[in-house]
Every structure is written in C-alpha cells, then in structure tokens.
C-alpha cells in the first residue's frame, strides 16, 4: 500500500540541548508517528514568516507509534528529530518553545530494510548521523514472526565517531539497550583516536563477519569510505545519504545522486569483462589481436548510470549502487 506524506501542525512536546550544538526535538503528530519508518525523514518549516522560505529535512531519531494507554501527547503518536546548529535555519530552531506548533511534511523517502540471512549487524554513525541509526537499532531489536514462532534479533555492534567527545551521541542508549558500542574521536578525547571507519576496518579484519550487514549514516566522505571497506569484504551495506533538498517530494531535482544501473563496472549481461569481450570478438573474426606485449588492452565502457533523487528513492541506498566521487 502506497503511503502518502501528511502535512500537519505538530505540537512541540520536548525541546532539549543534548550537547554543545546538538538538540533533541520531540513532536506530537499522530498522523506521521503511525506511518513513519526508520531511515525516513520529514520536512520542517522553521517559522511562519517565510524566512527561511524553504523547509529543512530531518531524519527520525525516534518514532512513537500510537499507544493504547494515553498518558501524554506523545502516546497519541509522534516523532523525534535531532539537529545540529550549522546555519541560520537551525540557529532559529534553537529558539523554539515547548507547546509551540510547527508545520511538518512527512514521512518522506524510503528507509532501511533488513538484509536476508543476516545474523549480525554493524551500525556505523558519524556525528548527527548516529540518531537515525538508533531508530533502526530499536526496530532490529524487536522479535519478528518467523517459521519457528519468532526469529531472534541480530547481534549488533554500534561504531560511533565524532571530532571530539562533545560530538559523540548514542552511547547511553546503546548501554540501556544492551548493544555493544565502540567510539572513536579525531582528537582522542573519548574512545580510540581516529575516525569511525578505522573501527570498522579493525572490526572486519580481526573479527568474524559472516552473515553480517552494515548500516551507515554520516557525512558523505565517511559513507564513501564505508562503502569501499564493505565492498572489499563483499558485505551488504546500506547508507543513508545527507543531502540538501528544497522540496522533499522529488519536484525540484536538487538532491540527485549518481546512481549505478545495470551490471557491475566492466561487465556485460553475460558476465564477461571488457577484455574477455574483445578477445572473444577477435577469435570469432579469426584475428589475433596481439602486440609485442600481448593482447591489446581494451578500455572498459563506463557503467550505465542515472541521477536518482535522494528524497524519493532514498535517502537509504545500497552502497554499491552509488558513484562515490
């Protein structure tokens, strides 16, 4: 069943500073709370003055579906977002008051999906990219109906990175939920000194990784490195892309990403590489395409691609489908 986004006036239930420039915003909105899925997002209008004119996109850091027992407005249904003050729009958001109403559009986009046969999950988050993965971790911890009554939740490891200890989120939640958490900071103020992808490489190099799936969210350079590492180990990897967008519904084409289509680079539909195609063609013609060095090298054709809209087809993608420039 196709789910259409709702435009609603949500009431601010809670607004708290959780770090030097990170804030948590809980919004009572049953229409969105009952439909939202981990990895999706909403578009938020900062104020009614049309300044800033455009809505801002925010991924869900927590989802509150409606409950039978109603003790507070969030039990009716709602969502939580985490944001970082990085510009004028988010700076204005810090002035929002509890009880105030905000214009929201959501849920939007496509979220995470479970990988078939996966018994272990590694979550890789950088900075403000950690909260969306916490929502997915909560979802994965739920037991699901299976052939033998209920299937077990996968084993989880959460790798968390940031510039310094003030940029580290989610450690407390991991402890409460019984999820192993490893931390890396660039200045070494908390956990290992380095970047979060160092933790991922170490985890895959030194530990078991059979039936393992990777989920990542953070800055695009971090995601590109995650994709490279997981490709070396031939592991499924999903990434949630951060992208500037004006509309959130695919109309403006302002959030496109280069998306790989068809067969892997250098292969055709029959699974032959470009040099193999050249050699087989030459053999069919009765020619021997050789030089003093051997077979003439053939430059493989560029793999087919198109531009995918992050807001409509993402923000979660198979990492192998993205061209990382």
pLDDT in tens, 59-73: 999 999 999 888 888
Indicate if the pLDDT at residue 153 is higher than 80. Answer: yes
Q: What is the pLDDT of residue 152?
A: 78
Q: Residues 22-28: what's their mean pLDDT?
A: 97
**151 vs 57, which has greater pLDDT?**
57
Tell me what pLDDT residue 311 has. 95
Share of the chain above pLDDT 90, in %: 67
Taking residues 15-20, what's their average pLDDT? 93
pLDDT at 229: 96
Dihedral of CA 4/60/240/120: which sign? negative
Task: Report the DSSP pairing between strands 316-318 and 237-240.
Answer: antiparallel
- pTM value is 0.85
Among the listed ranges 60-69, 143-152, 197-206, which one has the minimum average pLDDT value?
A: 143-152
Q: What percent of the chain has pLDDT over 70?
A: 83
Express each pLDDT in 248-289 by its tens digit. 888 888 899 999 876 443 333 334 433 343 344 334 334 444
> Average pLDDT for residues 123-151, to the nearest whole number?
83
Q: Is the pLDDT of residue 203 over 70?
A: yes
Element (H, E) at 80: strand 78-84
- For residue 286, what pLDDT is reported? 44
The residues spanned by each domain of the chain are 6-108, 120-254+305-321
Average pLDDT over residues 9-24: 95
What is the residue-averaged pLDDT of the chain?
A: 86
Q: What is the pLDDT of residue 297?
A: 55
Cα–Cα distances (Å) from 103 to 10, 55, 129, in that order, read 6, 9, 23
| Rg, the chain, Cα only | 23
Q: Which residues contact 179 (CB under 8 A, 6 or more apart)?
A: 137, 156, 157, 158, 173
218-229 CB burial, b ≥16 within 10 A, e <16:
beeebbbbbbeb
Pairing of strands 144-146, 149-151: antiparallel
CATH class of this structure's domain 120-254+305-321: alpha beta
Q: Contact, 187 vs 175, CB < 8 A?
A: no
| Average pLDDT of the residues in 232-246 | 93
What is the predicted pLDDT for the residue at 54? 84
pLDDT level of residue 50 (50, 70, 90 thresholds): low
CA atoms of 139 and 61, how far apart (whole Å): 12
Question: So what's the pLDDT on residue 285?
Answer: 39
pLDDT of 158 above 60:
yes
115-129, 139-153, 198-212: segment of lowest average pLDDT: 139-153
Q: Tell me the CATH number of domain 6-108, given options 3.40.50.150, 3.30.70.260, 2.40.30.10, 2.60.40.10.
A: 2.40.30.10
Q: What is the pLDDT of residues 175-188, one digit of tens each?
A: 999 999 999 999 99
Please say whether the beta carbons of 192 and 198 come within 8 A: yes
Looking at 14-18, 30-34, 53-57, 268-272, which range is the least confident one?
268-272
């Amino acid at each position: 069943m196709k789910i259409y986004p709702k435009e609603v006036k949500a009431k601010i239930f809670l607004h708290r500073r959780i770090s030097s420039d990170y804030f948590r915003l809980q919004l009572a909105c049953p229409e969105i709370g009952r439909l939202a899925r981990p990895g999706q997002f909403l578009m938020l209008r900062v104020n009614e003055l049309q300044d800033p004119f455009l809505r801002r996109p925010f991924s869900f850091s927590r989802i509150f579906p409606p409950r039978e027992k109603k003790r507070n407005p969030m039990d009716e249904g709602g969502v939580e977002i985490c944001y970082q003050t990085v510009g004028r729009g988010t700076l204005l958001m810090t002035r929002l008051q509890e009880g105030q109403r905000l214009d929201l559009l959501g849920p939007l986009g496509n979220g995470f999906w479970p990988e078939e046969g996966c018994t272990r999950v590694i979550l890789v988050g950088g900075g403000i990219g950690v909260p969306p993965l916490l929502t997915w971790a909560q979802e994965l911890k739920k037991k699901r109906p299976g052939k033998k009554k209920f299937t077990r939740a996968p084993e989880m490891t959460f790798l968390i990175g940031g510039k310094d200890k003030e940029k580290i989120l989610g450690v407390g939640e991991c402890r409460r939920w019984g999820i192993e958490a490893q931390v890396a900071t660039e200045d070494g103020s908390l956990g290992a000194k380095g970047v979060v992808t160092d933790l991922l490489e170490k985890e895959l190099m030194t530990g078991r990784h059979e039936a393992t799936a990777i989920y990542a969210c953070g800055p695009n350079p971090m995601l590109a490195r995650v994709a490279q590492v997981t490709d070396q180990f031939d592991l499924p990897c999903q990434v949630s892309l951060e992208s500037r967008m004006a509309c959130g519904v695919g109309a403006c084409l302002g959030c496109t990403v280069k998306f790989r289509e068809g067969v892997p680079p250098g292969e055709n539909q029959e699974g032959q590489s470009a040099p193999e195609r050249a050699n087989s063609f030459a053999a069919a013609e009765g020619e021997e395409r050789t030089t003093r060095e051997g077979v003439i090298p053939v430059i493989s054709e560029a793999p087919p691609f198109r531009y995918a809209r992050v807001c409509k087809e993402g923000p979660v993608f198979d990492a192998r489908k993205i061209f990382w420039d």
